[in-house]
Homo-oligomer: A and B are copies of this chain.
């Protein structure tokens, strides 16, 4: 039995990672998604091991110390991370695993798991990204300007990835990602 592959989908804020991921879940229901560990409290209906692996601050720190997280970050007082065991167990069982993550997190995963396949989702143009960030309608001009600067910096990091996929249309973006998954399984390892 051949080992599975880790696919990492990343890209700047506002590019549509979440939307593409949801569409991909519908098209490829068999694909297993990485489950994050977090120190935040479970919300009503959230199931441990399905939505998140819920951890105490002590447990989370121990995971960091024992190198059991491929990456982690703090967000409004809570920690979030990608458990290495869940990824490795899935791969060893011969299944692929899919991880959707911010650019900085993806770069950390790249360091710890260089054999992963790293896909960068790009906007059709920088103007289009600006439109989308405005489109949310909830942010001030300052916030949007700040996000655009961050996005420009993140686009610079694309060169570290294996593939870039333009998110011009969700169906096309999904088709490209599915093609990358199929092609990677046909690759001859050198």
With A178-B179, A179-B178, A179-B179 known as contacts, the answer to whether A186 contacts B165 (CB < 8 A) is yes
Give chain B residues whose Cβ lies under 8 Å from the Cβ of A165.
186
Q: In the docked arrangement, what's the CA distance between A123 and B183, Å? A: 18
Binary contact readout A128-150 vs B (1 if CB under 8 angstroms, 0 otherwise): 00000000000000000000000
Q: Are A163 and B179 in contact (CB under 8 A)?
A: no
Give chain B residues whose Cβ lies under 8 Å from the Cβ of A158.
188
Main secondary structure on A side of the interface with B: helix
Q: Are B176 and A188 in contact (CB under 8 A)?
A: no
- Tally of A interface residues using CB under 8 Å: 22
Q: In the docked arrangement, what's the CA distance between A182 and B174, Å? A: 12
Q: Are A164 and B176 in contact (CB under 8 A)?
A: no
Q: Footprint of B on A, CB under 8 Å?
A: 119-120, 158-159, 161-165, 175-176, 178-184, 186-188, 190
Instruction: Give 24 pairs: A residue, B residue, CB < 8 Å, sorted on A.
Output: A119-B186, A120-B188, A158-B188, A159-B188, A159-B190, A161-B188, A162-B187, A162-B188, A163-B186, A163-B188, A164-B186, A165-B186, A175-B182, A176-B182, A176-B183, A179-B179, A179-B181, A179-B182, A179-B183, A179-B186, A180-B183, A180-B186, A182-B183, A183-B183
